[in-house]
Structure 1
């Protein structure tokens, strides 16, 4: 029996031993956890031992050395004292690590308080966790862009705009492979003659594969051989600005554009391409803003422009040589808020495409060859603030319907067209205009009564508007606190001038070639520096009369102080008006 129990007892004993081991392990687990926790805390304490009051000493010393390279006449860096560099102005640290991740010394007061950089030491590389560096609108005109900036491996944002560094752009910036945004607008010094340091190549740009925002505007890129190939490597690019760059070439056709699906903003304005509009633009379907003004583009506007249905801003103005009719596909751009086609040779009518652009805020078609009438549907553009149609060959009639919903309109420019403005004398306009240019339109024969409701106008021109009526008394209080220019010349307006003009800010007054009569005002606005009264029938004594021709000639060329008399007006014309002669 004992022989049979012995194996059983051995088994039981073994099980008990195993149980004791399990209990011991269970008891040891909390101890092991506590030991691990203590080790972590000790490591953290050792880590923080290198930090003094939330700032790493190495990073603090690097920032102080950086500060020493500035001439800070306005004490913008006066807070850079003490141990905690994370509390200094423009220095941002990550809360979890204490490392400096952002250095923002942008000069927000661009007319003053600029830091003057006299040297930049590579010790700044101690900020190895830096992601954001902004030195914009400070003065570095005595030094070059440091090569070491290209060694900030974690940098995502770099802004050196309006810093005026000497020399060129270091190619080592191409090492910033994590960079999302690069702004080098006016980053290089420009002399008094407008000559900036030339940039000879942009090959380094092609290595910035993470780049979403690139602004090279204002740099001298005239010598760059193939700028498009470098930029075309950036498949994630969303914003590209190369305006005012002196670029003189652009490919008209491209086999493949890498940023067709990503690019939303393209500004190439104020360059000298002297070519037709690129065909590949129609493939950049995500564009919301396209600036191609003053680029010397010629030829017609391609129908593919209508494929850019996401556009809210389109500027093709001041190219001088764009010609032909506006393609009807322009009507597809129904999200447009600003359209500028001014100063070209575009022709044809406005119907068939303009009516669909109901979201427009600013419409500038001035100085072209457009003909026909203005569509009445423009009166439905309820967001419109600026309507610029001057300098065309437009005709037809503009009535109250053209202004029906234009409550936000501030600028009305119909200058130098053959338009008849037919508006009832009892009409009350829905807008308050700041600028009114109606010269050479047919407004008369009555004086437009609706003007009396305009109380905020700054400029009014109604030269040669076929007005043949007596000027109403209310006009002498027209926008009296805001108006600076009034031109009623070359009409047949009758009436007398008041004894004093109440236009507090009036600088220019043109009443010449009308039928005004009676004496001139005894008091004139103190701001007035240009007065034309010739070819009228004024009588009586001139204010300040009796001065000789030599004195009048000197007054025409330079201000003499403003006393309210004709003696104080630097430019005036009284020829063929009655009054005392100029001897």
Structure 2
């Protein structure tokens, strides 16, 4: 029995020891776990935290930033704090990542940070240290392997004490353009930091530094000295003995002379950036010997001659940037592209003085995602072989002298987002197949000689960067979408030859002049005439013929004046009439009562005046009207009570529809002509409403959306009780008039009302007492 008790006690002690051992192997603890972090290191971190204030501006350049130190709390294990890494056995703090932590202050040389002797990784990048000197205390971290102080607004000379970090494999001081290096410090660094593999000093001032000793950093794999004010010729840098170097960036300095052939000694080089210097001469053939090269950037230099024929045949080359040099000749004779499939990212040859046609063999670069050949002197037709680049998402061939038509195969570039062809001499048709490219965001075809071909029926190029005059659609065109571009000039009367047109949407451009008279007698097919948000002036044509199919007339946002054309009464299928924001000067067009299908009548922000007279038609009128906006005019007299009694669409709910219904969501059968060719939902009516003096643009109009806005006029008298019949009215605005009397109690019947504005009138409140 005694042995059993002893065995039980032993088992309990073993279990307790195992529990403590496993819990100490983790750097994350809850509040009830034993503290792994030592008290002195925890105190050092909390004391370091007290130095800083938090500022979002301090880490403005970060994609994601947040105050990591804010979550450090006394009495909790520092090994569980955000940004802190501990040794899993001893509990020593070995890593501290406070990058993008919104820190703002200076770091004194006696800061408690330097009391963490076991630190191996330290990242303080993207903070604001108030243009203070880099503390010499960083030299105390004898075990430090990784140090990142980039983009943190340090100042002054790099302290010599950094050369004490003999275990360092990565040093990044880039982005501190107030910091400078002395040659003596560089020599000490190179002498002592023999394990250094990454050295990034972009934008650090090294104008007084001699770099001859860099050849002793035999372990260096990445060297970035961009914008460091380096000068001299490349052979003087004496870095070509660095056999392990994989990345070299010397861009945006003051380097001169030719690119030396000795670059071929850097056999491991995969990325070479020499752009933004003053290099001249030719591209050396020896670069083709860099078999591992995947990224080559030589832009913004004075290089001349031809591209070595073997350069594009490098198996690993994925990005080639030669922008803004003086390269010459026909690219066909200087580049041989046969089975090259290595380029898979970027080919940038812009502004290089190339002439002649693009070689058909460019189509062999099937993995390229971006091709930029702009600002050259390329001629001939754009080769259809470019469509073989099935991963292409950006193509810029602008500012050349291309002729002929756009390749039909461009419609197969399913991943493309941007097509830039402006300033060429391209003729022929604008491809209707471009509308099928679902990722296409920008297409700039301006300053070419495009025409719309005679057999085209549906063309949608809205929301691009098209410039110049409005193209004339052919007679067979059915739908013509050119909205949201930069088109200018007048509408040619030849547009009226497109007698089969059903939808004309040229809204949101900079078109000017007068609206052609012939648009009023376009034939029997046109259902949408959207000319809004342009600079048209003059009067609206009074030529609308009987038996037309117009369902939408949107002329808002122009400079139209005069009276409304009475031939509008011939538009018996009209559902939407939007004339807001013009200069129309007329009395209320009571004769619109004859339009039994009218759902939206917007005459706001014009110069309509006088009383709204009694109707002259018998029976129902405006019965389908769901939006009536007469605001910001000069109407006088009483509110139109007789109209309120006829607005049946605001008295009956249609919320029971299974799916949301919108105005102009689809087109019906008008006068026996079926609009089966125009895709459903191709065009949507929109409206701008005012709620509490804030304007809201509704890109689509639900059929359940009902508005009466008669604000900012000169109406007088009382609010009619008949408004209470409009049970499903959602927005009622009678503000800024001269209305008197009481608010009728019948308005309590407005069950769907969401916004009500009677402000700035002369109303009185009637209190009811029991």
Q: TM-score, with normalisation over the residues of structure 1?
A: 0.72
Q: Residue 510 of structure 1 aligns with which residue?
A: 487
Gaps of 5+ in 2: 1-16, 25-32, 56-65, 497-503, 518-530, 540-554, 561-770
* Contact 2:158/2:179, CA 8 A, preserved across alignment: no
Contact in 2 for aligned 1:384/1:408 (Cα 8 Å): yes
Structure 2 vs 1, CA of residues 312 and 95 (structure 1 numbering), >3 Å: closer, same or farther?
same
Q: Does 1:371 align with 2:355?
A: yes
> Counterparts of 2:82 and 2:410 in 1: how far apart (Å)?
58
1:118-517 equivalence runs, <5 A? 118-120=106-108, 121-141=110-130, 143-187=132-176, 196-201=178-183, 202-207=186-191, 208-221=193-206, 223-226=207-210, 228-252=211-235, 257-259=240-242, 261-319=243-301, 321-351=302-332, 352-360=335-343, 361-403=345-387, 405-422=388-405, 428-469=411-452, 474-475=458-459, 477-478=460-461, 480=462, 483-487=463-467, 489=468, 503=483, 506=484, 508-511=485-488
Alpha-carbon displacement from aligned partner over 1:16-58 (angstroms, at most 9, x marks no partner): xxxxxxxxxxxxxxxxxxxxxxxxx9xx99xx9xx97212222
Q: 1:367 to 1:72 in 2, by over 3 A?
A: closer
1:465-499 Cα offsets, whole Å, 9 max, x none, are 33344685633x33x4xx34123x37975669999
- 1-structure distance, mates of 2:148, 2:401: 50
The alignment's TM-score, normalised by the length of structure 2, stands at 0.56
Relative to its length, the structure with more strand (as a share) is 2
Mapped to 2, the partners of 1:376 and 1:522 lie a distance apart of: 38
The alignment covers a number of residue pairs equal to 477
Deviation at 1:155, TM superposition (A): 0.3
Q: Are the counterparts in 2 of residues 494 and 516 from structure 1 also a CA contact under 8 Å? A: no
Aligned equivalents of 1:567, 1:145: Cα separation in 2 = 63
Q: Deviations over 1:533-557 (max 9, x none)?
A: 69xx96469756379xxxxxxxxxx
In structure 1, which of residues 62, 75, 79 is the aligned counterpart of residue 72 of structure 2?
79
Alpha-carbon RMSD across the aligned residues, in angstroms, is 3.7
Deviation at 1:210, TM superposition (A): 0.9
Q: Distance in 2 between matches of 1:437 and 1:114?
A: 40
Distance 2:428 2:223 in 1: 52
> 1:452: Cα distance to partner?
3.4
The answer to whether the Cα contact below 8 Å between 1:234 and 1:258 also exists between their aligned partners in 2 is: no
What residue number does 2:537 align with?
545
> Does the C-alpha gap of structure 1 residues 511 and 381 become closer, same or farther in structure 2, counting only changes over 3 Å?
farther
Confirm whether residue 115 of structure 1 aligns to residue 103 of structure 2. Answer: yes
- Residues 294 and 533 from structure 1, CA distance in 2 versus in 1: closer, same or farther, beyond 3 angstroms? farther
- Structure 1 pair 514/318, CA: closer, same or farther in 2 (3 Å)? farther
* Shift in alpha-carbon separation, 1:284–1:522, aligned structure 2, 3 A: closer
- Secondary structure of 2:254's counterpart equals coil
- What's the CA shift string for 1:229-267, capped at 9, x where partnerless? 2433211100111112222234325677331x2000111
Unaligned runs of 5+ in 1: 1-40, 108-112, 189-195, 548-562, 569-583
Q: Which residue of 1 aligns with 2:40?
A: 58
Deviations 1:101-152 (A, max 9, x none): 1111111xxxxx5011333434433311110011111111153211010121
For residues 243-297 of structure 1, the C-alpha deviation after alignment (integer angstroms, 9 at most, x for no partner) is 12222234325677331x2000111112121332234322112111111111122
- Match of 2:362, SS state, is helix
2:557 — aligned with what?
A: 565
Indicate the larger mover: 342-351 or 76-85.
76-85
Confirm or deny: 8 A CA contact 1:426 1:449 kept in the other structure.
Answer: no
**Displacement of 1:418:** 3.1
| Residue pair 2:234, 2:255 contacting (<8 A) in 1 also | no
**Shift in CA distance, 143/517, structure 1 to aligned 2, threshold 3 Å:** same
CA distance in 2 between partners of 1:370 and 1:234 (Å): 40
Residue 343 of structure 1, CA deviation: 1.2
Distance 2:488 2:159 in 1: 60
2:97 pairs with 1:97: no
Choose between structure 1 and 2 for higher RCO, CA contacts under 8 A separated by at least 6 residues.
1
- Shift of the 532–408 alpha-carbon distance from structure 1 to 2, 3 Å rule, reads farther
C-alpha change, 1:148 and 1:395, in structure 2 (3 Å) is: same
* Comparing 380-389 and 455-464, the one that deviates more: 455-464
User: After superposition, where does 1:11-30 map in structure 2 within 5 Å?
Assistant: none
